[in-house]
Structure 1
Amino acid sequence: MYFSENEQYDVPDHVVQPDLSVVCSNHQISKNGCQGAPSLIIEVLSPSTALKDFNEKFNLYQKYGVNEYWIVDPGNQTVHVYTLEEGSYQNRHLYTEQETIQSVLYPELEVPLQHLFRLSSHDINI
């Protein structure tokens, strides 16, 4: 994913690789990746990425207009959901294990956390 101050993506200002992203605009997709802000980004915390996801990426995604940002914390079995309002992440919701996440951008997207954190590798069919 490429972010650029002046939309010159051949020399981007920032390059990131989120765990999951939703891009709804075909014109953002190139052979090299996504240019500009996707609608939704989901990052899954690990001990080595937690600080970067909560600080660096949070500020970067906010600055470049990612409308919805989820931070999944498997250690605490929580999900932080941030939605962009008037250029900043003003709306924050912390979902816990017994709750169901409902996307602000995509109301039909619901994720029950009680199932999410109980999955193991043999439960996932790819």
Structure 2
Amino acid sequence: MCDEDRTAASRPAGGMQGDEMTKTVADSVREWEHAGMRCVRRCRMLGAPCGYVEVPEGHPLYGVEFWDMACEPDVYGGVTYTGNLGVDGAWFVGFDMAHYGNFRTGDECERETERLAEQLRDWSEDD
């Protein structure tokens, strides 16, 4: 579970509102570069960390919906997201770390996101 979500989970009934909610949502996102690829970690519902890697236009997976992939990268739990994450012109491939009976941490998610970035970089170099 992400630290931000632990804090939110410990709040009294009624939860966060206004600026407090906006700050927590913003704080639950981390962006960095690895293997020349833009990586993003977001904490989703119930605090599940999710990892995303942006693929550039021209990459074999750019614009491809995850259910239409002929083959997919080897990532924990499989690819569960493709889309723009609200960034115009960008295309991300992503996964989540919350699977039945096996919830993973944000640190593990970041390592797996970097592994995904390396695969996607190598994939684009091979094609």
> For the superposition of Structure 1 and Structure 2, which TM-score range results when normalised by the shorter chain?
under 0.3
Structure with the largest fraction of strand:
1
Higher relative contact order at CA 8 Å, sep ≥6: structure 1 or structure 2?
A: 2
Structure with the largest fraction of helix:
2
Give the TM-score normalised by structure 1: 0.28
